[in-house]
Structure 1
Amino acid sequence: MADTPREGKLTRFVNFSQLIDMASESVGGKILFSTDDFFAPAENLIKSDSPSFKEHEYTEFGKWMDGWETRRKRIPGHDWCIIKLGIQGIIRGFDVDISYFTGNYAPRMSIQAANLDEDKLPEIPQRGVRMGAAATAEEFEAIAGLKSNDWNYLVPMTELKPERPASSHNYFLVNSQQRWTHVRLNIFPDGGIARLRVYGTGQKDWIATDPKEPVDLVGIAFGGVCVGFSNAHVGHPNNVIGVGRAKSMADGWETARRLDRPPIVEYDETGVLLGSGCEWAVFRLAHPGVITQIEIDTKYFKGNSPDTCKLDGCVLTTQEEEDMISKKWDLAAHKWKPLLPVTKLSPNQSHSFDSLTLELQDVITHAKLTIAPDGGVSRLRLKGFPSSICLLWPRDRPMKPFSMKTGFQANL
C-alpha cells in the first residue's frame, strides 16, 4: 500500500468522503461572501446533490452552469468566497469537484479555515440573488472584519486536475485536530468549481452541556460516526445520525433485500418474521455516556421498513475499536449490553423507547443497531448524559488520519 499523502496534498485516498459534508446546505452550510458570481452563484458550491449539465441552456449572463463561476478577470487580484460550516468541527478532507467545467474551471485553488466565535462576528449583508453581480464595496468592508487573509491554510495553492467531464474530483487529505467553523475557498485567478465538499466530524463543547438535559450522544453534528456496517446498498448508515429530520428516503440507511430470505414468509407466535437474517451498523458515540432514551424513525420507509430492531452498547478503547474493525465487528456477545430488546417497527413512523440501562454505571462508547431482516431507517437518536470518563483517543496524542478498514466499506 502506498504511503498516506502529506496533509493538504492532492490524494486518491478518499475514505474520508464517507463522513459528513460539513459545508452542505442540507446541514446548514451558508455562503457568506464571494468576490464575484457573474455566471453562476457560489451557493451552488454547497448544494447537496451532484452537479448536472444542461447542454443548450443559457441565462442572460451566459452559459448556465451548476457551480460557482466568476467572470474572466480583468482587474488585479483573484476570486474567493467564504463558507460558514453547517457542522462545526474537525475537517478530514476536501473534494474540489470541477465536473462539467471542461474549458472554464479554475486552474488553481487553495483553502483556508478559521475557528470563529459566533458572538464576535461582524454583521455581514445578506447576499440575495447573485448572478451577474460582483461584491460591493460595502460587502468587502464588512467581510474584512473576519480577517480571512490571515486564516490557516489547510490546502496550499494547488493546480486542479480535470478528469472525466461528468466526474472530475480533486481530493485533499487534512490531518488537523483543530475545530473549524469557516472555510475560505480561493481560486486563481478566476473560473468555475462545481462543488466543494468539506468532509469531517462534528465537535461539541461538552463542558457547556446542561447536565440536567439529555442530549443526542450519537449525533453526527456532535462527533458521532458509523465505524462499521453489514450492508449499505442504497444509503450509508451515517445518514441515520444526520442533522434534523430526514428529507426523503435517500436521507437514511437502507440495505439491499437479503437473498437468504425464505420463499414463503411466516411469523412466529409473537408476530415476528421467521428467518435468521439481519443487518447491522455500529456507531461510535460523540462522547461516552449513559443512554436513557432511544428514538428510531422509519419516516419515508413505507414499503421497505425493517420488521424488527434491537440496540446494544459496549465500552471500547480506541485500540479495541481498531481491532474490531479489522475483525468486521465479530465482537463477543458478553461485551454488548442490551439497550433495546428485539422490538417491532412500523413503517413511516417515529418510535421512542426507554433504554434498558438506566443505571449510571452503564456507560457506553459504541452502539450497535441491528435490523431484521433488512430495510431502511431514516434516523437514530440516542439521548442521554455524557460521562466524565473518556476511553477514546487521549487528548495529548495526535489522532490518526481517518481511515475505513475492512468492515467499514463492506458492500458499499
Structure 2
Amino acid sequence: MIEKIVPAFAQLSEFASIGAGGGIVFATDDFFATCENMIMDSEPVFIEDKYTEFGKWMDGWETRRRRTAGHDWCIIKLATKCVIRGLLVDTAFFTGNYAPKYSIQAACLTTEEEESIPTRVSKMGTACNKFDAKHIERLKSDKWDEIVPVTALRPGYEETRLNFQKVLSDDAWTHIRVNIYPDGGIARLRVFGEAKPERPPRNQVVDLISLLNGATCLGFSNAHYGHPKNVIKPSKGKCMSDGWETARRLDRPNVIEANDDGTMKITGQEWAVFKLGFPGKIKQICVDTNHFKGNYPDSVKIEGAYLGRADWCPEVVGNWHNILKPSKLSAHNEHWFDCDSDVITHIRVTMAPDGGFSRIRALGYVDDQII
C-alpha cells in the first residue's frame, strides 16, 4: 500500500477550484482537454477507450505538442483575495504526456484590470486567438511575482502523481499564472491558503462562515468520508464527497429509541470548530443535507464563543453558549433556523450521532470589534 504524505497546508481552505469560486480566465491552448478540467472539484478519472476527434480523452488540462516558439500557460482567478500557503499539482493518469516542469506567478489585480480581460470561450481543439492574446498582454503577467520557481513535475502514476509545493510569500493575491514548460498536461491544481477579503459594511447581511469571507475549519472529531472544510464553500454541494461525512459511530445503541421532541436517544456525537471570517452576530443558520439521504445526522447543535485573538485548540475551553439547541434534521433538504447570537468569533457544530451534511450558512452582521 502506498503511503501518501500530505502537508499541513492542505488542510487549509482551497481557492482555485470551481466549487470554491475559482475560474479560468485565459489559456494559451485547450487542444486535447480544456483548462477548466484542471480546477474541477472531482477527483480525476481515466477512461481507457474514450477518444475525441482531437485524440485521447483526458481528465485534466492538456495542450497540443508545441511546434511553435514559447510555452503554454493559463491565468486563474482565485475565489477571493488570499494568501497562498501551498499548492498541489496532480498529474494523475498523465504518464507519457504530463508537463515536465511548471512555475507559478501571482498578482493582485484591480477591478479595472479584471474588467480588461476578454471573455473566455472554453473549447476543446482550440488555441487562444490573436485578439485575446493581445488584450491579455496588457496585464504583463509574465512580470508577475514568482511564488513557485520553475519546478520539475513527476508522472501521473499513483506513487508519483501528487506534487505538493509550499509557498513562503505572505502577500495576498487575486490571480495566478500557471506556466507549464513547454507543453503537456496537468490533471488537477489546488491552491491552499487563507482568505483576506475586504471588511463588509456593518449593516450588510453576510455569511460569516463562508470561506470567501475568511472563515476556516480549525478542528474536528471525525472526517472519514468528507472534510468539514467542504461545508463552508460558497457553491451548492455537488455530491456527498463534497460535504462533511463521518464514519458510523461504533457506540450507537443496538436498538434506538426516541426522545419526546423526536430526536434520538443517542449519547455519541461528532463535532467541528470553525473560526468566522469576522467577529459578528449570527441571525440565521442554514444546515443543508443536500445529497445526504440515508446518512444525514439525526440532529444538529451549534454553539458560539468569543475567543478574541486566541487561536482555538482542543485544550481551549472558551465561553461557549448555545446558538441553536439540538434540532431535528431530515434527508436531502435545507433547514433554516432563526437565532440571535452575541458577538462571536468561533462556532462549534455538533451532529448527533454521526452522518453528514453538505453546507452550512451563518447569516448575520459583522461587528465593529477588530481582532
Question: TM-score when scaled to structure 2?
Answer: 0.92
Once residues 295 and 58 of structure 1 are traced to their aligned partners in structure 2, the CA distance between those partners, rounded to angstroms, is: 43
Given candidates 260, 269, 277, the residue that maps to 2:260 is 269
Aligned match of 1:14? 7
Aligned match of 1:213? 204
- After TM superposition, give the deviation of residue 92 of structure 1 in Å: 1.8
Percent sequence identity over aligned pairs: 49
- After TM superposition, give the deviation of residue 129 of structure 1 in Å: 4.4
- After TM superposition, give the deviation of residue 366 of structure 1 in Å: 0.9
Residue 47 (1) aligns with residue 31 (2): no
Given candidates 145, 152, 159, the residue that maps to 2:138 is 145
**SS of alignment partner, residue 221 of structure 1:** helix
After superposition, the Cα gap between the structure-2 partners of 1:21 and 1:331, relative to the gap in structure 1 and judged at 3 Å, is closer
After superposition, the Cα gap between the structure-2 partners of 1:192 and 1:339, relative to the gap in structure 1 and judged at 3 Å, is same
Judge which range, 337-346 or 235-244, deviates more: 337-346
Aligned match of 1:348? 332
- After TM superposition, give the deviation of residue 151 of structure 1 in Å: 0.8
**SS of alignment partner, residue 19 of structure 2:** helix
Aligned match of 1:252? 243
* Deviation sequence 1:243-262 (CA, Å, 0-9, x none): 13323333221111111111
Residue 380 (1) aligns with residue 360 (2): yes
Given candidates 91, 103, 112, the residue that maps to 2:96 is 103
Once residues 79 and 56 of structure 2 are traced to their aligned partners in structure 1, the CA distance between those partners, rounded to angstroms, is: 30
After superposition, the Cα gap between the structure-2 partners of 1:142 and 1:354, relative to the gap in structure 1 and judged at 3 Å, is same
1:218 and 1:284 in contact (8 A); partners too: yes
1:12 and 1:171 in contact (8 A); partners too: no
Given candidates 282, 299, 311, the residue that maps to 1:291 is 282
AA matched with 1:310: K
- After TM superposition, give the deviation of residue 384 of structure 1 in Å: 1.7
Judge which range, 134-143 or 80-89, deviates more: 80-89
Once residues 304 and 249 of structure 2 are traced to their aligned partners in structure 1, the CA distance between those partners, rounded to angstroms, is: 25
AA matched with 1:335: N
Once residues 356 and 126 of structure 1 are traced to their aligned partners in structure 2, the CA distance between those partners, rounded to angstroms, is: 43
Aligned match of 1:168? 161
Q: Where in structure 2 are the equivalents of 1:69-88 lying within 5 Å?
A: 69-88=62-81
- After TM superposition, give the deviation of residue 228 of structure 1 in Å: 0.7
- After TM superposition, give the deviation of residue 165 of structure 1 in Å: 4.8
1:340 and 1:356 in contact (8 A); partners too: no
**SS of alignment partner, residue 25 of structure 1:** coil
2:95 and 2:156 in contact (8 A); partners too: no
Given candidates 125, 149, 166, the residue that maps to 1:156 is 149
After superposition, the Cα gap between the structure-2 partners of 1:302 and 1:122, relative to the gap in structure 1 and judged at 3 Å, is closer
- After TM superposition, give the deviation of residue 116 of structure 1 in Å: 0.7
Once residues 291 and 46 of structure 2 are traced to their aligned partners in structure 1, the CA distance between those partners, rounded to angstroms, is: 29
After superposition, the Cα gap between the structure-2 partners of 1:351 and 1:122, relative to the gap in structure 1 and judged at 3 Å, is closer
* Deviation sequence 1:238-288 (CA, Å, 0-9, x none): 111111332333322111111111111112333321121111110011111
Once residues 43 and 253 of structure 2 are traced to their aligned partners in structure 1, the CA distance between those partners, rounded to angstroms, is: 38
After superposition, the Cα gap between the structure-2 partners of 1:223 and 1:42, relative to the gap in structure 1 and judged at 3 Å, is same
- After TM superposition, give the deviation of residue 219 of structure 1 in Å: 0.7
1:40 and 1:66 in contact (8 A); partners too: yes
- After TM superposition, give the deviation of residue 318 of structure 1 in Å: 4.8
AA matched with 2:114: L
Once residues 387 and 371 of structure 1 are traced to their aligned partners in structure 2, the CA distance between those partners, rounded to angstroms, is: 28
AA matched with 1:376: G
* Deviation sequence 1:274-320 (CA, Å, 0-9, x none): 12111111001111122222222223322222222211111225554
Which consecutive residues of structure 2, in runs of 5 or more, have no partner in the other structure? none
Once residues 66 and 297 of structure 1 are traced to their aligned partners in structure 2, the CA distance between those partners, rounded to angstroms, is: 29
Judge which range, 33-42 or 347-356, deviates more: 347-356
After superposition, the Cα gap between the structure-2 partners of 1:354 and 1:59, relative to the gap in structure 1 and judged at 3 Å, is closer
- After TM superposition, give the deviation of residue 32 of structure 1 in Å: 1.7
- After TM superposition, give the deviation of residue 104 of structure 1 in Å: 1.8
Once residues 227 and 15 of structure 2 are traced to their aligned partners in structure 1, the CA distance between those partners, rounded to angstroms, is: 16
After superposition, the Cα gap between the structure-2 partners of 1:108 and 1:237, relative to the gap in structure 1 and judged at 3 Å, is same
Aligned match of 2:176? 183
- After TM superposition, give the deviation of residue 168 of structure 1 in Å: 0.2
Residue 278 (1) aligns with residue 262 (2): no
* Deviation sequence 1:129-169 (CA, Å, 0-9, x none): 43332222111101112110111111011111236258601
AA matched with 1:20: S
What RMSD, in angstroms, separates the aligned Cα atoms of the two structures?
Answer: 2.2
